[in-house]
Structure 1
Amino acid sequence: MKIISKTANDIFEAIRSQVQAQQLSPGQTLPPVRQLASELGVNRNTVAAAYKRLVAAGVAETRGRLGTVICETVGPGEQEGGIGHSRLTDLSSGNPNPMWLPDPALALAQRQPRLRLYGDAPVDPGFQDVAYRWLADDCPSPPEIDLAHGAVDAVERLLAAYLVPGDKVVVESPCFISSINTLRIAGLQAVGVPVDEQGMQADVLEAALAKGAQAVLITPRAHNPTGASVSAERAAEIRAVLERHPQVLVLVDDHFALLSNAKFHQVIPPASRRWALIRSVSKALGPDLRLAAIGSDRETSLRLRLRLASGTCWVSHLLQDIAHTCLTSPLVTEQIERARTDYTHRRNLLINALSSQGIQLGQPCDGLNIWVPINEDVEPIILHLAQRGWVVRSGMGFTVQEPVRGIRVTVSMMDADQAARFAEDLSLCIH
């Protein structure tokens, strides 16, 4: 490793340049601070400052006694969606059932949208009123309203508004695949807190915040992958924890709000200074609509609007028109109610089928998926299921720190016959 200049900035630039030129490889350990300082004839604090900046920039990471190591190249990671294998029944996608998604062309035709130009309000005033009514009662104070291109986009933009690479973010464990990818690509450290039948465990959350986490991402209902929802008792415990950490950014991703059977329980205390409630239309109106409404405190909204201003990256008003029409249509509202009932029925089909095979899930669930905990290596089971014609999602894809053992099964398009056959095959694969 060649370094000529001796300031912290020069050391940082020299190492980064060598990484970009592939002269330093991912996984390669940098010299200890004391050693490099001696070789360069500089103060140890100078090298330490350079290493700290490398970590913040996502070029390197600290591994305790193993030292400072060049980061692995960030890949796209595991993605939601099916594999499209014609010979297998795909239960891995996490998708809603297309039969319950309204026709966007029909919704747009009913709206008769007008053309918008640069400088128009980023959020259509009519849709802003709809979004406010959808969010306000579940926010800790009257919210400012903004939009993003779906819940994942909202989370990414909100984190970027406050955090820098290297900061710690508390997430649920197991964790939603897209959240894991978002944090990894942004250079943020995911800190997993276990989820039980009542949601994120408050005592472990307290410990994570005490160790310096800057933000927390919570799913209040239909947690993906487990389907758990935060209970009233657990919400009160989480509020009490967050009350003691008012500076922490609190993001609540209520992605299943339009379809959930569970009651929403507030986890954001009034003392929180930085917060946002995110509600997406993806599960009820279609993933390709790419729209989520965000209610937040004023400072958070101002920061978010710098990244979503008209003229740079606002959410298409055509998408807003479609969502506005759907969310105010009695026919679509009735369709959403029927979808909620149908998804509940399909979940129960598989839960009952598994129970008849002696496989108990042990917790209530909501959402489009069923989570099956498995107390052994899941990969052979997934392989055996594939040999029997089924594709499911491995729990390893939802891992934050500790390996997650289980499988996620999407039930949104599952019928009674499939539920019975899958339960029987899974029982055979396990036993």
Structure 2
Amino acid sequence: MPNWSEGESTVTAPIAGTTASEIAASVRAHVDSGALRPGAPLPPVRQLADVLGVNRNTVVSAYRQLVRAGVARTRGRAGTTIAERSDGPEEGFARDTELRDVGHGNPDPRLLPDAAAALTASSAPPTLYGESVIDPELAEWATRWIATDQPRDFRLTLTHGAVDAVERLLAQALTQGDAVALEDPCFLASIHTVRLAGYRTMPVPMDEEGMTVAGLRAALSAGVRAVVCTPRAHNPTGTSLGAARAAELRAVLAEHPYVLVIEDDHFSRLSTTDYHSIIGPEHARWALVRSVSKFLGPDLRLAFVASDPETGGRLAARISPGTTWVSHLLQRLARTLLLDPAVGGAVSAAGAHYAERNAAFVAGLAAHGVAARADDGLNVWVDVRGDAARVGQRLMRRGWLARIGDDFALAEDGPSAHHLRLTVHALDAATAEQLVADVAAAVAGRPVLSGETST
């Protein structure tokens, strides 16, 4: 195979294949072996198609698979290159910054229950190898809770948080190269989970009602083996599915009963909106994941997974009573907190607080002519009607660190590029008012004036 040159870089690896999947797999093999290094350009589509004797659309499809898997990145007319091996954006507070971080996505620590007070009450004899993997009282509580929303037979499993649940659920159903439908924009951890496992991401656009019907239908027609959906408090947009949209999505999925459907109901007990499932009554492969991270604390690494018996059996096989069960110390602590009526009341109050503070911030932006939404969840999704990265830079000059919508995007040049995600619920009224004014000024492109105060 001949070499391809672009600038000072040369690609010498013999890319092979006659289908898009084979070509993508060939490139991945060369990346794994080190023959193709980060930054190396891939051959122009026309050239590679001519050498391999395939249609140009086949190469385009292969490159698209590589971009969705995070192996490559496209630069438009400048071509496609092997992606840099970077950690990529993650949730949480930014490190090593003096700016006021309003893009972190965390719950307010002041609204989380005091776990230390519950530790003594949750003490019990040590759990040894081979014992039951789920605390019986915790399982009873969780089964009653989930059954109110999923009144069907299910198997209950515990995992080390929602991300662990999604990763294990996909692993028991998929192989490398399989396609997974994800909301676009998408929760950062879901993007990382799918790409790091070697699956292909299939973006399903979002609108103001949630995952679009046409987008899901297209993903299913393209052969996705799994769908990950956030039924309410979608991160980053805050969107929740209504009854009508959920019913439409169930109807589409009814024709694909063996596609694994995972619902990540991460906000659950904090949510101010009703839960509407896209899992139909006859769907064969499904799982509902509910983590305690948002209302009991991110460090309490525990999530409940309700699923069809076969999926649950496969998942349970990966959580062995001999090696990988969820710590019973954590389970007992969670049980103590979940059964405490005072904690339940505090959780409800926290949900109301998040909703009230976010709504007030959205109203403040609207008064300045800036559109934003915060239907549910921890964050506000701000439409800057322009280049969000540039607006983010202007906010940095005013002392704020925001989260750029592109971090959550799967498709290129989508609406996420015009949005910011802000976490504002912990700001006091005066600070929130200042941030509203600074966002409005940044959107308008007004410079920071000499002597102007900000954070």
Which secondary structure does the structure 1 equivalent of 2:270 belong to? Answer: coil
CA gap of 1:13–1:202, structure 2 versus 1, over 3 A, is closer
**Is 1:117 aligned to 2:128, yes or no?**
yes
Partner of 1:374: 384
**Is 1:427 aligned to 2:437, yes or no?**
no
Write the distance in 1 (CA, Å) between the matches of 2:385 and 2:71: 35
Contact 1:392 1:409 in 2 (8 A): yes
Larger mean Cα displacement after TM superposition, 13-22 or 168-177: 13-22
- What do the CA deviations read for 1:272-306 (whole angstroms, capped 9, x no partner)? 11100000100000001011000000110111011
Contact 2:284 2:308 in 1 (8 A): yes
Which secondary structure does the structure 1 equivalent of 2:277 belong to? Answer: coil
Contact 2:225 2:260 in 1 (8 A): yes
Deviation at 1:108, TM superposition (A): 1.8
Which secondary structure does the structure 2 equivalent of 1:133 belong to? Answer: helix
Q: In structure 1, what residue type is equivalent to 2:423?
A: T
CA gap of 1:62–1:166, structure 2 versus 1, over 3 A, is farther
Write the distance in 2 (CA, Å) between the matches of 1:252 and 1:420: 36
- What do the CA deviations read for 1:183-221 (whole angstroms, capped 9, x no partner)? 110111111112122111112211110111111111011
Partner of 1:270: 281
Give matches, 1:3-402, under 5 Å: 19=31, 22-26=34-38, 27=40, 29=42, 72=83, 74-84=85-95, 87-139=98-150, 141-361=152-372, 363=373, 365-402=375-412
Write the distance in 2 (CA, Å) between the matches of 1:16 and 1:220: 34
CA gap of 1:15–1:274, structure 2 versus 1, over 3 A, is closer
Q: Structure 2 length as normaliser, TM-score? A: 0.82
Deviation at 1:165, TM superposition (A): 1.4
**Is 1:406 aligned to 2:419, yes or no?**
yes
Which secondary structure does the structure 1 equivalent of 2:344 belong to? Answer: helix
Write the distance in 2 (CA, Å) between the matches of 1:193 and 1:215: 12
After superposition, the CA RMSD in angstroms is 2.9
Write the distance in 2 (CA, Å) between the matches of 1:428 and 1:62: 33
CA gap of 1:364–1:36, structure 2 versus 1, over 3 A, is closer
Larger mean Cα displacement after TM superposition, 309-318 or 295-304: 309-318
Contact 1:221 1:227 in 2 (8 A): yes
Q: Structure 1 length as normaliser, TM-score? A: 0.86
Larger mean Cα displacement after TM superposition, 228-237 or 302-311: 302-311
Contact 1:170 1:205 in 2 (8 A): yes
Identity score, percent:
42
Write the distance in 1 (CA, Å) between the matches of 2:352 and 2:322: 41
Contact 1:104 1:322 in 2 (8 A): yes
Write the distance in 2 (CA, Å) between the matches of 1:338 and 1:430: 33
Q: In structure 2, what residue type is equivalent to 1:393?
A: R
Q: In structure 2, what residue type is equivalent to 1:408?
A: R
Which secondary structure does the structure 1 equivalent of 2:156 belong to? Answer: strand
- What do the CA deviations read for 1:221-245 (whole angstroms, capped 9, x no partner)? 1000000100011011011011111
- What do the CA deviations read for 1:358-380 (whole angstroms, capped 9, x no partner)? 1132x551111000022211112
Contact 1:25 1:70 in 2 (8 A): no
CA gap of 1:280–1:60, structure 2 versus 1, over 3 A, is closer
Deviation at 1:76, TM superposition (A): 2.4
Write the distance in 2 (CA, Å) between the matches of 1:245 and 1:20: 34
Deviation at 1:424, TM superposition (A): 0.8
Deviation at 1:247, TM superposition (A): 1.4
Which secondary structure does the structure 2 equivalent of 1:181 belong to? Answer: helix
Deviation at 1:312, TM superposition (A): 2.2
Which secondary structure does the structure 2 equivalent of 1:172 belong to? Answer: strand
CA gap of 1:62–1:271, structure 2 versus 1, over 3 A, is farther
Write the distance in 2 (CA, Å) between the matches of 1:14 and 1:205: 29
Q: In structure 2, what residue type is equivalent to 1:366?
A: D
Write the distance in 2 (CA, Å) between the matches of 1:175 and 1:61: 19
